[in-house]
Structures are given as C-alpha cells and as structure tokens.
Amino acid sequence: MYKVRHWVVRHSRVFESLYRCFEPLLVKLHPLWKRLGYARVEAPMRAVEKGVKGLLFDCQMCGQCVLSSTGMACPMNCPKTLRNGPCGGVRSDGHCEVKPEMKCVWVEAWAGSQNMRHGERIHVVQQPVDYRLRGSSSWLSVVREQAQRNNGDEQ
Amino acid sequence: MRFDDEPVPGYSLPILPGHVSPGRLERVLRAGKFAITAELDPPDSADPAEVLKRAAIFDGYVDAINATDGSGANCHMSSVGVCSLLTRVGYATIMQISCRDRNRIAIQGEILGAAAMGACNILCLTGDGVQAGDHPQAKPVFDLDSMSLLEIARGMRDDCRFQSGRKIDMPPRVFLGAAENPFVPPYDWRPHRLAKKVAAGAQFIQTQYCFDIDRLKQFMAKVGDLGLLEGPKRVHILVGVGPLASAKSALWIRQNVPGVHIPDAVIERLQGASKQKEEGKRLCLDLLQEIREIKGVSGAHIMAYRQEESVAEIIQASGVLEGRVPWYPGRDNPAQLNPESPDALGHSEQALSD
Ligand code: SF4
C-alpha cells in the first residue's frame, strides 16, 4: 500500500533496527529450519514474507532483498526496476518520470537512508537481479547463507 | 591538435600508455583539451548515405559523435549500426547503450560487436521509459541498470569475462561513459551518484541539457569535494548544451521530455527576443562560454536536435576549441573525405579555396 510504504520510509531507522534484531533470530533458528528441511519451509516462509513485506514495503518478491541499502524503499517499485539510484527523468517535484502520480522511489530511498544508521550503504553498487530467485523467500536464503558461513567459520 | 598517428579509416590507433581505448576522444580528454561531442540524429531509414551526411555536418568541430540508442524511446536506426558506418570512414563514435530494450545477453554481445567495428567509447544509460516514445505498448526490459551495465562492461574489458564468468578471448577496448543529470531531484544525491558511477567504471560523463549554470556550479563543486576531478578517480565531465528553437518549443520540451529542466528566466529571455531562433543560438553560445570557465569541466556535449547545422556556427563563435580542428575524414588527406560530405560532393566553396 502506497501510504504504508511512505510511512515506513519516514521511520526507516526503526525498521532498520527491527531488521537487525530479526535476522540473527532467524539465523539462530537454523537447526530448526534444517530439521524441517529448507525446501519444506520455503513455501510457508515465502507466504509470511510476502504478506508482511507486501503490506509494509509493497515488496515485489525479487528474492534478493536490498531494503537495508535503499532507505527501506523497495527498488522493485521503480517502473524501471533500477537497483542503484534514480534515473535522469525524475520530475522537479520529485515524482516519477513513468508514473507521475507516484513519488520517485529513489527520492524516497534517499530520504530514508538519511535517517538510517547505515545510510551509507546506498552508495554501494548493487549487482543486477538474479531472475531465478524471483518469487522465492529472501529471508530464508539470507539465513541459509549466513548459517553456512557461521558453520564454515567453526570448522 | 594533431597526433602523429592520425587514423587510417577503418584501422584503430595504438593504445597509448595509461589509456584503455585506441580512441581519439580519450586522447583529447587525457591531453586536457576542452572536448566537444555532438549527438547525431539517427535516420528512420536503412540508407547508409543518410548517416554519413548527418555526420559530415559536424566535420572539423567535434571530437566524437554520439550514436543514440532509441532516444526518447523512439525507434530509429540502431546505435551499433550508426557506429559501424561512421567508424568505417574514421569518425570517433560514442555508442549509447540503453537498458530499456535488451537484456544482459544481448547487451554484452553488442559491446563485443561494436568494439570489433571500431567503436571506442560506450555510454551506459538507463534509458527513457517506453511511455515517452512512439511504442508505449512495448515491453520495458531493464534487466540491468546503468550502474550494473558499467560494471559488466568494465569486467569485460579489464577481466576479460562476461558477467557469467565465461572468458573473452580479446576484450573490448572501450572508454566507458555514463550520463548524469544534476538538474533534477534528489539534488544532494546527484554528486554521490556520480561517484557511484565512477566506482562502477565510468571514465567520462555526459550530462543532460544544462540551462541552469548556478546548479551546475554547485554540482561541480561537490563533485570536486568528492575527489573526482583529479587523481586516480578522475572523471571527465562533458556538460550537455543545445540551442532552443523558440520559447514555445522550450515550453514543450520542459513539459514532455523527461529530465530536462529549463528555468523560467530562460523562457522569458526567448520570449523577449524578436528573433527567437537566433536568441536560442546565442543562449547556447553564452552557456558554452560560461561552462568553459567552470573548474573541472572537461568539455561540452552538444544536442542540437533538428538544428544540427547550427552546431558548427555556435562552436566557432564560442571559441572553445581555441583554434583546434578536431580530426575528420579528409582533414589531413583530402582523398579520404567522407563520401557524403558537401566537400566530396563538390557543394562547398570552401573546398575550392582550401
Ligand atoms: S523517476 Fe524514480 S521511480 Fe520513476 S523510473 Fe526514474 S528512478 Fe524509477
């Protein structure tokens, strides 16, 4: 929802903190996910992620979430699906070139990142989207990667 | 300026030490000269002569010619086609690639093809949305964005790899460019975004039309503070300018062309003039001279849509080339003229007096 998404960006710092607590929690639950089987958890997790993030961020389920690097504004709502900043067509009132009724996603993202503790992440060049991951749960893939890294460190 | 090894049409120049491309634009920029580039209006036609004719208009005044890639999301001859025709007779070209119409497989193939055809400069663009052009019903692709395109192109050149990691035998020797628009929001991000493009591989920048010198100065100062105007992160900035035909057309552009910021003062200046077209040219000339004086600006990019014939006159009057005659086919050896140039066709009196 457009209104909710604006509200979230205005409170990007709170959501950044929430995410910072939430991620380690999911990672801690790695043994549970493993026992249940990641493949089996995928569908329910995807559903939850889609519901929550859809409501808050108008999440488009690209499967490779970069919200914490984009001021909590989902870049997949940009009609050009840009992942690295605004195009050159932003209107003088800060609205989108393609959809004049919408505020440019990247104008929002910049404002959001300015409130965040790690707002400087917006300056890091993002890789293009891997289309194979579309529609999958990005939470689960982050958790799996993180857990693998942790285990790797232990060994 | 003359290099001892000016091009033999169709053959590339040696790559100078510290350079990445065999092209003339990189040479001129790195030599610290004020460079001029211009945009060629690609024909809605498959006639090669038409391309050469449109290039000949700029003979002796520009260092490289931009071949646009469906600019404004309108369909025209492709940028790789235009570049191939132009490099055959020796012109330096800047091939524009927009992310709107092709995915990464097509784009990487295009970069190799263009480099093989002698294109030495590539401008990586996001591209206007399809809604702006003559095919609003088309599917927008945007598989990459300008930033990831830059990174991929740099990887192809420097690491000899496709994005997939697969090896490239002979890498494309290209000087990489990107666009920037300092004149639209979010203003305070624009210099940082430029820094991000440099980090992704941009070596030169062509800006959107500049009609607001104050904003440009603020932008350049900030870019300087970020350390992008000297040292290893040096980026060459060419500022976009162009003549406006009338107050009415300025208003139309402001309304309909994405990303062009024209202040009211400019429109009033045109409205107040008795000959608006002449005033538009004078305005362009004034801007060019002011831009020339701004610290850190490396050149100008001229976009004179439907007024291409006035480019030579404006550059000449502005004096920004300081007597330099950029290379063009036939400059040093009249036998190698562009076959479609007025000189070759015997239409020019200048040809006789030379
Ligand atoms: S104006 Fe903003 S939201 Fe619209 S296409 Fe450009 S970057 Fe995306």
pLDDT tens-place string over residues A40-82: 999 999 999 999 999 999 999 999 999 999 999 999 999 999 9
Measured CA to CA, the distance from residue B176 to residue B95 in angstroms comes to 10
Asked whether B203 and B177 are in contact (CB, 8 A), the reply is: yes
pLDDT at B146: 97
Pocket flag, ligand 1, residue A98 (CB < 6 Å): yes
Domains of chain B (ranges, CATH numbers)? 24-353 (3.20.20.220)
Which is the closest atom of ligand 1 to the Cα of B129? 5
Give the pTM: 0.93
pLDDT at A87: 96
Pocket flag, ligand 1, residue A90 (CB < 6 Å): yes
Measured CA to CA, the distance from residue A75 to residue A60 in angstroms comes to 9
Which is the closest atom of ligand 1 to the Cα of A106? 2
Q: Cβ of B189 and A90 within 8 Å?
A: no
- Selected residue of A78, A80, A91 to mutate for chain B interface (largest B Cβ count, 10 A): A80
Q: Cβ of B180 and A87 within 8 Å?
A: no
Asked whether B196 and B170 are in contact (CB, 8 A), the reply is: no
Tokens representing A35?
Answer: 């026992």
Residue B353 banded pLDDT, cuts 50, 70, 90: very low
Q: What total of structural domains would you count in chain A?
A: 1
Asked whether B320 and B56 are in contact (CB, 8 A), the reply is: no
- The residue range of the domain holding A6 is 2-151
Pocket flag, ligand 1, residue A74 (CB < 6 Å): no
- Rounded to a whole number of angstroms, the distance from the CA of B199 to the nearest CA of chain A is 8
pLDDT at B13: 83
Asked whether A43 and A59 are in contact (CB, 8 A), the reply is: no
Q: Which residue has the tokens 């192809």?
A: B156
Asked whether B227 and B199 are in contact (CB, 8 A), the reply is: no
pLDDT per residue as tens digits for the range A83-97: 999 999 999 999 999
Summarize the confidence of residues B279-284 as an average pLDDT.
97
Peptide bond connecting B186 to the previous residue in cis, omega within 30 degrees of 0:
yes
Tell me, in angstroms, the distance from the centre of ligand 1 to residue A106's CA: 7
Q: Above 60 in pLDDT, residue A142?
A: yes
Measured CA to CA, the distance from residue A122 to residue B95 in angstroms comes to 29
Asked whether B124 and B196 are in contact (CB, 8 A), the reply is: no
User: How many beta carbons lie within 10 A of that of residue A138, not counting itself?
Assistant: 20
CA nearest B197 in A: which residue? A125
Residue A150 banded pLDDT, cuts 50, 70, 90: confident
User: How many beta carbons lie within 10 A of that of residue A56, not counting itself?
Assistant: 17
Measured CA to CA, the distance from residue B318 to residue A109 in angstroms comes to 41
Q: Cβ of B196 and A125 within 8 Å?
A: yes
Tell me the Cα Rg of chain A: 16
Q: Cβ of A110 and B147 within 8 Å?
A: no
Q: Above 50 in pLDDT, residue B185?
A: yes
- How is chain A split among helix, strand and coil, in percent rounded to 5? 60, 0, 35
Measured CA to CA, the distance from residue B258 to residue B198 in angstroms comes to 24
Interface check B186 vs A, CB under 8 A = yes
ipTM of this complex prediction, to 2 decimal places: 0.91
